[in-house]
Amino acid sequence: MSPTPCLLCLEDEADIAGRAAVAAGWTLSVVERHHFPDGELRLRLPPALPPRVVVWRGLHQPNEKLVELLLIARGARSLGAQWLGLVTPYLAYMRQDIAFHPGEIVSQRVVGGFLAELFDAVLTVDPHLHRVATLQEAVPLRDARLAVVLSGAPLLADLIAQHPHAPLLLGPDEESLQWVASAALAHGWDHAVCVKQRHGDRHVSIALPAAADVPVAGRAVVLLDDVASSGQTLVEAARLLLAAGAASVDVAVTHALFAGDAIERVRAAGARHVWSSDCIPHPSNAVSIVPAVAGVLQNWAAAG
């Protein structure tokens, strides 16, 4: 009988990784981490690892975590891991998929290639892909079947459905259409997307759908998106919706980055409820990816 696969994590993600390990029937081991005074890391893994190992590391605030992954992956293989997977609920550096100006580094290509060299399989949730259609294109694994994408949109839609009024599901920009359309279709809701023009990291302009096509007056509107970072897109959309007569505006996002005072500004703009998945720990977490991730871990364990 093959040894029980092991899920490795850092202490700050031990809760969610532990729940996934229990649900999947895996063992959990927490990587010991020490910072030297100069900022270097010392990491300690179990002295012996089973052949099948997965690392859980979300890549919000990613820069040091990428170094952790390099050290953990190389160390795990030296300690017995023959097959190595990565569960990264939030996958960083995906937005820069082309060089917009001469000399810009295409970080998606660099970071995606880096992860593909370290891991045999990668699971993420609602990756922020623009001109690239699949995770495999961004993270070119040897076996494309092991580039696994889950979505928080169905979980959030099921939560929204618990409220009494059928909402208008609205994406704050054109890129959100994939999540908005699938969630609305599953529940028979009306849906549409806004038009966004970005002028900087915190400066955007939003145009609501034409009132003749998608009336918002008197409607309960839910803004659904994959990620909220600065929150400015949600702020502008909420203000416009309430000014146009929306009865209420709620917000549902897969990845609650909410940098700085973003969540306070979204609420100040009139958002009633703010819901998110637990891909990133945040007070707005309302649905969990753990059961879906555990199902993938079970499949990975059964594969060999």
For residue 106, the domain's CATH number is 3.40.50.2020
Sorting pLDDT into bands at 50, 70 and 90, what band is 132?
confident
Do 121 and 11 reside in the same domain of the chain? yes
Do 141 and 159 reside in the same domain of the chain? no
Rounded mean pLDDT of the chain? Answer: 93
Single-letter amino acid code for the residue at 90: Y
Do 69 and 202 reside in the same domain of the chain? no
- Say what percent of the chain tops pLDDT 70: 96
Sorting pLDDT into bands at 50, 70 and 90, what band is 178?
confident
- 260, part of any domain: yes
Name every residue whose Cβ is closer than 8 Å to that of residue 42 and which is 6 or more positions away in sequence.
33, 34, 35, 36
Do 143 and 187 reside in the same domain of the chain? no
Sorting pLDDT into bands at 50, 70 and 90, what band is 33?
very high
Q: Is 203 a residue whose pLDDT tops 70?
A: no
Q: Is 176 a residue whose pLDDT tops 60?
A: yes
Single-letter amino acid code for the residue at 24: A
User: Which tokens in the block code for residue 178?
Assistant: 């994939």
Q: What share of the chain is helix, strand, coil (3-state, %, to 5)?
A: 35, 25, 40
Q: Is 210 a residue whose pLDDT tops 60?
A: yes
- 144, part of any domain: yes
Do 248 and 189 reside in the same domain of the chain? yes
Spatial separation of the C-alpha atoms in residues 177 and 191, rounded to whole Å: 9
Do 203 and 136 reside in the same domain of the chain? no
Do 59 and 116 reside in the same domain of the chain? yes
Which letter does DSSP use for residue 105 in this model?
-
Spatial separation of the C-alpha atoms in residues 175 and 8, rounded to whole Å: 33
Which of the residue ranges 221-225, 229-233, 282-286 would you say has the lowest mean pLDDT? 229-233
Q: What integer pLDDT is reported at residue 36 of this predicted model?
A: 97
What sign has the CA pseudo-torsion 10, 16, 21, 24?
negative
Spatial separation of the C-alpha atoms in residues 100 and 108, rounded to whole Å: 13
Pairing label, strands 27-35, 41-44: antiparallel
- 1, part of any domain: no
Pairing label, strands 83-87, 121-125: parallel
107-118 vs 63-78: helix crossing angle, rounded to 10: 20
User: Which tokens in the block code for residue 179?
Assistant: 């999540």
Which of the residue ranges 14-28, 46-60, 191-205, 289-303 would you say has the lowest mean pLDDT? 191-205
Sorting pLDDT into bands at 50, 70 and 90, what band is 212?
low
Q: Is 120 a residue whose pLDDT tops 80?
A: yes
pTM: 0.93
Spatial separation of the C-alpha atoms in residues 22 and 88, rounded to whole Å: 18
Look at the chain and report how many structural domains it folds into. Answer: 2
Which letter does DSSP use for residue 48 in this model?
S
Do 84 and 178 reside in the same domain of the chain? no
Q: Note whether 181 and 157 are within 8 A (CB).
A: no
Q: What integer pLDDT is reported at residue 201 of this predicted model?
A: 54
Do 143 and 29 reside in the same domain of the chain? yes
- 32, part of any domain: yes
- 208, part of any domain: yes
Do 172 and 278 reside in the same domain of the chain? yes
Sorting pLDDT into bands at 50, 70 and 90, what band is 206?
confident
Do 13 and 123 reside in the same domain of the chain? yes
Sorting pLDDT into bands at 50, 70 and 90, what band is 40?
very high
Domain ranges, residue 122: 6-151+289-302
Do 11 and 125 reside in the same domain of the chain? yes
Spatial separation of the C-alpha atoms in residues 251 and 249, rounded to whole Å: 7
